[in-house]
Amino acid sequence: MRTFERPIVVYSACLAGEAVRYNGGTVEDKLAKTLSNYVNVIKVCPEVAIGLGVPREKIIVYRQGPDMLLFQPATGKDLTKEMISFTEEFLDSLPEVDGFLLKSKSPSCGVSNTLHYRDPWGKEFYARGKGLFAKLVIERFPHLPVEDEGRLKNPEIRDHFLSSIFALADLRSFRPKSIKDLMNFHQRYKYFLMAHHQLKLKQMGRLVAEGSKSLEETYESYKKLFVQTIANRPSKKKHYNVILHIYGHLSSKLKEREKHHFLKLAEDYKEGKIPRTLLIELLKNWAYRFENEYLMTQTYLWPYPEELQHVYN
């Protein structure tokens, strides 16, 4: 029911098919590849950008107190300053982007699973954490979706990332001509926002309804709240709550057996026995059957292109 704006997503260049890895390789990732058909990709390889060639000697992250440093054991080069200054320049040069899809485990790009050492030679393991480039990206854009392809194997993290980049692209391209336009936008996102943060949803509703500021001021405040709100990953409990709210729009038209079946499935979802998509498909089906225009515009039910839901199925 929804047409999708193309999100602008920064990709680690190796995930976007460029042979820039330390060993001259690239990375095959199904989701990154499929997603690239639906988004505008900005590619970056931070290690090539700081002058390391392809192929190159490995670099590692090591810790010195609270500091995270980047070192190339084979050459004895400390690359921390180069990486920080490249990253700052690169982030300054970006247009408004909707998210980052980075390569897991990399000392530069990894969002979570990068090995950190206690020493510059990589002899003593310290902990797993972020790569230096990824760390600086997250510090600069704390509310933007920033993930690596490893974390996106988790269905909840993937769903949050994909729905967020498409919501942010929608927001970025939206130019309300009146408060009514903003109200309509807010209405389409009602259940989506409710799943992320119920109190913020109310705050945004009040902001739009009050009309105490100019359209421009209201829109700017709305945008900020929207971005902050969707940065919260919805819990199972919140999804369950939203699903029951949506069901409430349809239940009076359903037969007793259908109601019973649906509520049983909702409990199964809450207990982790079935995926949420089963319930969502039923709700979408009933929204079509009963021609419920309000539900047919809800982004919660149509958060991103369907092909992306089936990448790992």
Residues lying near ligand SF4 in the complex (CB under 6 A) are found at: 12-14, 20-21, 45-47, 103, 106, 108-109
Nearer to ligand SF4 by Cβ, of 20 and 61: the residue is: 20
Nearer to ligand SF4 by Cβ, of 5 and 148: the residue is: 148
Nearer to ligand SF4 by Cβ, of 19 and 209: the residue is: 19
d(Cα 298, Cα 191) in Å, to the nearest integer?
7
Nearer to ligand SF4 by Cβ, of 13 and 282: the residue is: 13
Nearer to ligand SF4 by Cβ, of 14 and 246: the residue is: 14
Could you tell me if 303 and 166 are in contact, meaning their C-beta atoms sit under 8 angstroms apart? Answer: yes
Could you tell me if 71 and 79 are in contact, meaning their C-beta atoms sit under 8 angstroms apart? Answer: yes
What's the closest the beta carbon of residue 67 comes to ligand SF4, in angstroms? 20
What's the closest the beta carbon of residue 81 comes to ligand SF4, in angstroms? 17
- Tell me which DSSP letter residue 152 carries: G
What's the closest the beta carbon of residue 16 comes to ligand SF4, in angstroms? 9
Nearer to ligand SF4 by Cβ, of 5 and 29: the residue is: 29
> In sequence order, which residues have a C-beta less than 8 Å from that of residue 100 and are 6 or more positions away?
9, 10, 11, 134, 137, 141, 144, 145, 146, 147
CA-CA distances (angstroms) from residue 286 to 241, 262, 279, 291, 307?
18, 11, 11, 8, 21
Nearer to ligand SF4 by Cβ, of 14 and 182: the residue is: 14
What's the closest the beta carbon of residue 46 comes to ligand SF4, in angstroms? 5
What's the closest the beta carbon of residue 68 comes to ligand SF4, in angstroms? 15
d(Cα 10, Cα 44) in Å, to the nearest integer?
7
What's the closest the beta carbon of residue 54 comes to ligand SF4, in angstroms? 8
What's the closest the beta carbon of residue 97 comes to ligand SF4, in angstroms? 16
d(Cα 87, Cα 52) in Å, to the nearest integer?
15
The number of beta carbons lying within 10 Å of the beta carbon of residue 217 is: 11
146-148: strand order across its sheet: 40-44, 8-12, 99-102, 146-148
Could you tell me if 303 and 192 are in contact, meaning their C-beta atoms sit under 8 angstroms apart? Answer: yes
Nearest Cα neighbor of 10 from 37, 36, 29, 49 is: 36
Using the Cα atoms of residue 28, residue 33, residue 39 and residue 40 in order, give the sign of their dihedral: positive
